[in-house]
Amino acid sequence: MSARTGIERVVAIGRRGTANRRETPAPEAVPATAGGEALAAADELEIAISLPLDRFALEVEVKTRARVTAVFGPSGAGKTSLLESVVGLRPASGRIRFGDAVWLDSARRIRLPPERRRIGYVPQEGLLFPHRTVRGNLLAGAARARRAGAGGQAAPSARLEAVCELLELTPLLGRRVGTLSGGERQRVALGRALCSAPRLLLLDEPLASLDIPLRRRVLPFLARVRAELAVPMLLVTHDPRTVQALADELIVLRGGRVIARGAPREVFTDPKVFPLAEEEGYETVLPARLESTGAGSSTVRLGENGDGPLLVVPRTDGAPGESLLIGIPARETILAAAEPSGLSARNVLAGRVAAVRPLVGDRGLVLVTVDLAAAPGAALPPLATEVTASAAAELGLDAGKPVYVILKTAGCVVYGGRGQA
Amino acid sequence: MDEVTLDALRLTVRVATVATAVVLVPGTLLAYLLARFEFRGKGVLSTLLTLPLVLPPTAVGFLLLRLLAVDGPLGRRVLGFDLDLILTWKGAVVATAVMALPLVVRTARVTFEGIDPRLEAMDRTLGHRPAAVFVRTTLPLAYRGLLAAAILGFTRAVGEFGATVTLAGNIPGRTQTLASAIFAAQQAGQDDEAMFLLVVALAVGFVAIYASERLAGRTGAAPR
């Protein structure tokens, strides 16, 4: 996409930053939210609720100004209940506030109905309206966008056009929703939320209902929304990849309680959290740029700007220079203390051990995080690898020790880039 | 077709149409209430709404007659004016409406219960109040079921005999419907006349149902 259309789109849907908000507050100290982007106080989300569930009570108390906050946890941790409370579809007691709008305050007997919270809700199953076409679904919240128009937002038609371009929905506009594929449904549900001019986007397991190949195709659209729109997001997921690809701040929920929070890359390698992530098949997700594509494989350069080490990955279609995300499963890695040679594996990455942590209660494995050697300025998240405790002892793995990470091409997973489908 | 038969046919269609129209809106709202909300007395309300289905129609007619009698709770003495329902075509409308209501409510209720309430919740998150959600999302999704409810109500009204004859009588040209005309003809031993009326009744029922189903099929709302 050209820079020009990008700018038009940003104007049409709502600029990034807070310049177009009327109630922009006096700047105060921005909290250090994990190195991710922080928002102004007008977009601070505060959740302090308790909600009795079947087997336990959900007790959550968090404040976040991250642009994208992810709530991660195993199934049944109370994630969806938490999200539904924020949406206003599940009565909880406590306090929920977004900026200066109080959505719930049991002490003051305030409980704003969902239609007055100005949220964009993308439920797990999409919940498209079967009696409307795709266009009808996208415009289902247009009346609110029109009412919000007083605040300097673009007209609903311009908004629809911009959303269609962003999510590539234009060819689907006349279709009935019954004829859409799973990935298309999720994109329409996302587009419908965006067309209603929400102040906060709420996503419930945006990829859970999709099979693996489809996830690979839908994730980039979410990344695109994140990259191009100003709207803050709260997303609930049990998929560590989604979190790493999108979130600035991670909140881990287990048994209804917050057990960890912070920057995703740090929180996931917390020994309390990693086993939960590993159950889903943990992959470290690294940004990369496509370098070239051969017969059976593609070559990418790691790093946001493509100035990190080269990596040979399964073949992917795309233009050189395109942004991609590469998933490296913790179980697919081999560590070597000396530079190996004569391997069939295509990738040997040099780095240093960042930390060695025993994994609680399980099969004698340790989690070794490796800082990959990268060009200065191309800081990469640490790579999570799993080895047995005996191997770690034998290799003398300790923080600071130089190691080589060996990766088979087929072990790497390519997720369509942030820029392209 | 003689004058009496023609009058009976006209009156039947008029009574059934008006009764269906009268019953449809409150019946739909009551059905929605029963399908979506929990409240005290729900069981009692549901039972009361079903009663006309199980009572002998003549009992319903007699009950209405007592309610509307001059000294009844809805009679002239209490209200101060006459509702003019006894032995009139409007009385036939009331009788058939009461008899059709349970079918309309039950059919509509099942329809509403089959609609995913999360779709309604979803529409609320898009900025619509519950009343707007009902019109924008619930009704279009319930379209076919509500049409079926209306057809059932209409056919029930066409065929109603006991309650109508008790409240409105069987006055040829004024309150005599097809059902009561058939009864009158058969009682008088005019089997040919009764048979002819039977054919007319068959035709009316067939056309009503066939036309409505064609309509529902063509509109094709709410593929599920």
pLDDT in tens, chain A (421 residues): 444 444 445 545 554 443 333 333 333 333 333 345 677 777 899 999 999 998 899 999 999 999 999 999 988 889 999 999 999 999 999 999 999 999 999 999 999 999 999 999 999 889 999 999 999 999 999 988 888 774 455 677 888 999 999 899 999 999 999 999 988 999 999 999 999 999 999 999 988 777 777 777 788 788 888 888 889 999 999 888 889 989 999 999 998 999 999 999 889 888 888 888 887 778 999 988 999 988 889 999 998 887 888 999 998 888 888 888 899 999 889 999 999 888 888 899 999 999 998 876 666 888 999 998 876 666 788 899 989 888 898 999 988 899 999 999 999 988 874 433 3
Q: Residue A288, Cα to own-chain centre: how many angstroms?
A: 16
Return the pLDDT at A218. 80
Whether the CB-CB separation of B64 and B94 falls below 8 Å is answered with: yes
Return the pLDDT at A148. 79
For A283-415, CATH gives: 2.40.50.100
Return the pLDDT at A42. 79
Q: Collect all residues of chain B within an 8 Å Cβ-Cβ radius of residue A178.
A: 223
Return the pLDDT at A257. 93
CB-CB under 8 Å, A113 with B124: yes
Locate the chain B residue with the closest alpha carbon to A189: B122
CA distances from residue A119 to A70, A98, A145, A202, A345 in whole angstroms, order as listed: 16, 10, 11, 7, 48
CA angle B194, B195, B196 (to 5 degrees): 90
Q: List Cβ neighbours of B100 (8 Å cut-off, separation of 6 or more).
A: B19, B20, B23, B152, B153, B154, B156, B157, B160
Please tell me the number of Cα atoms within 13 Å of A96 on its side-chain side. Answer: 25
CATH architecture of A3-279: 3-Layer(aba) Sandwich (3.40)
Burial per residue of A406-418, b for 16 or more beta-carbon CB atoms within 10 angstroms, e otherwise: bbebebbbbbbbb
The structure tokens listed for A249 are 């701040």
Whether the CB-CB separation of A375 and A312 falls below 8 Å is answered with: no
Determine which of B116, B122, B129, B137 to mutate to test the interface with A (most A C-beta atoms within 10 Å): B122
The structure tokens listed for A373 are 């050697």
Return the pLDDT at A13. 59
Average pLDDT per consecutive 10 residues, chain B (224 residues; last block may be shorter): 86 95 96 96 95 94 93 86 90 96 94 95 96 96 91 92 95 92 93 91 86 63 42
**Structural domain boundaries of chain B?**
3-219
- Residue A130 has its nearest CB partner, among B127, B129, B224, at B224
Residue A26 DSSP one-character state: P
B142/chain A closest Cα distance in angstroms: 10
CATH superfamily of domain region B3-219: MetI-like (1.10.3720.10)
CB-CB under 8 Å, A176 with B126: no
Distance CA A161, CA A163 (A): 6
Determine which of A85, A112, A115 to mutate to test the interface with B (most B C-beta atoms within 10 Å): A115
pTM of the entire predicted model: 0.82
Question: What angle in degrees, to the nearest 10, is found between the helix axes of B139-159 and B3-36?
Answer: 140
Q: List Cβ neighbours of A123 (8 Å cut-off, separation of 6 or more).
A: A189, A204, B118, B122
Whether the CB-CB separation of A98 and A279 falls below 8 Å is answered with: no
Q: Where are the alpha helices (DSSP H) in A118-253?
A: 134-138, 142-147, 156-167, 182-195, 212-228, 240-246
Q: List Cβ neighbours of A76 (8 Å cut-off, separation of 6 or more).
A: A55
CA distances from residue A61 to A97, B79, B181 in whole angstroms, order as listed: 12, 61, 75
How many C-beta neighbours within 10 Å does residue B185 have? 21
Is there a shared CATH topology between the A3-279 domain and the A283-415 domain? no
Return the pLDDT at A378. 60
Say if A127 is an interface residue toward chain B (CB within 8 Å): yes
Locate the chain B residue with the closest alpha carbon to A148: B127
CB-CB under 8 Å, B140 with A114: no
Determine which of B116, B119, B126 to mutate to test the interface with A (most A C-beta atoms within 10 Å): B126
Residue A143 DSSP one-character state: H
Return the pLDDT at B216. 64
The structure tokens listed for A45 are 């989300």
- Ramachandran angles phi, psi of B180, nearest 5°: -75, -30
- Smallest CA-to-CA distance from B20 within B31, B9, B28 is with B28
**Structural domain boundaries of chain A?**
3-279, 283-415
Q: Collect all residues of chain A within an 8 Å Cβ-Cβ radius of residue B222.
A: 130-131
CB-CB under 8 Å, B221 with A114: no
Q: Which residue is it, tokens 């189903």?
A: B213
CB-CB under 8 Å, B126 with A115: yes
- Residue B125 has its nearest CB partner, among A119, A130, A176, at A119
Whether ipTM tops 0.90, in short, is no
